[in-house]
Amino acid sequence: MDREKNIVEQVVEFFFVLAQLFYYCTVGSVRALLPGGVLPRKSVLDDVVLITGSGSGLGRMMAIKFAQLGAKIVLWDVNEKGNLETKKMVSKFTKDVHAYTIDLSHKDIAAVAQKVKNEVGHVDILINNAGIVTGKKLFDCPDELMEKTMAVNTNANFYTTKAFLPHMLENNHGHVIVIASMAGLSGVSGLVDYCASKFGAVGFAEALRSEVQTMGKNGVHVTTVCPYFIDTGMFDGVKTFSPTFLPILQPEYVIDQIMEAILTNSEKLYMPRFGYISAFAMNLLPVKAAHLLATYYGINKTMDEFKGRKPAKRAA
């Protein structure tokens, strides 16, 4: 009798899990396809938002958006001049904006983080946005550049999160956002070091989310953002050979999508939407089949004429 009861319980549990699986797949698919502005958004009024790589591009645009929503802004960038320009722009919307010059490839993150806590307060929303790209093939890339790519794009996530996540967990309120890349989901010729670093960033975010969920901290969220190439200058010279499905993304569109994902506590954001199909296919298909599709869409030719943005010099 006990054995039969155990079998019945297992069958009931299996179908319960199956029903939940179907529910979450349906909800996730619908959320991914919904236009912006439909889902309810959370308030970030008076939240402290720290953005790395805030001296230009997406980081600057996010800082302005959050300031317009009433958040307190903390700016981190190696480019002091660019960061102060961002601060000036943000100060039009809030006086509660603070700029710090920091090289995320160095081990001074903990010290600067403590300075932020002392001068501004605990961080509620951490946006790991800073990133660099060499655009060189493996044997053309100097070792120090490969190491710096890993330090900024991957390792910095560990140190910033270790510095600011504990308070979020203590209060069961907070958000960690990792700006990764579609290159963190599929390898691309000419981006070996960059892909490795972004694969690391994606893995970091996925595992961090699992740890937070296991703790039962439902008020702390982790969002992974994986865009295709963005027209910010960082990937100047790249080309797309399938503009219908994989267009070079415009920064304004990307920012709108990122803000929507953060304010609705979405776990993942791929851009463009074809990225969801691409990621699914690359994980499902045999390696040779996936390579065939990548060749068909010209993905491995995108970096052939890469120029990139000149790296900013650290202020003395």
By annotation, the residues acting in catalysis are 194
Instruction: Pull the structure tokens for residue 121.
Output: 């307060």
| Among the listed residues 65, 55, 73, the one whose alpha carbon sits nearest the alpha carbon of residue 125 | 73
* Distance of alpha carbon 227 from alpha carbon 257, whole angstroms: 10
The residue behind tokens 């806590």 is 117
* Distance of alpha carbon 73 from alpha carbon 232, whole angstroms: 22
| Among the listed residues 126, 106, 105, the one whose alpha carbon sits nearest the alpha carbon of residue 116 | 126
Asked if omega into 311 is within 30° of 0 (cis), the reply is no
Axis-axis angle for helices 80-90, 57-68 (nearest 10) = 20
| Among the listed residues 169, 170, 179, the one whose alpha carbon sits nearest the alpha carbon of residue 205 | 179
Cα four-point dihedral sign 213, 215, 219, 223: negative
Q: How many Cα atoms occupy the beta-carbon half-sphere of 212 within 13 Å? A: 28
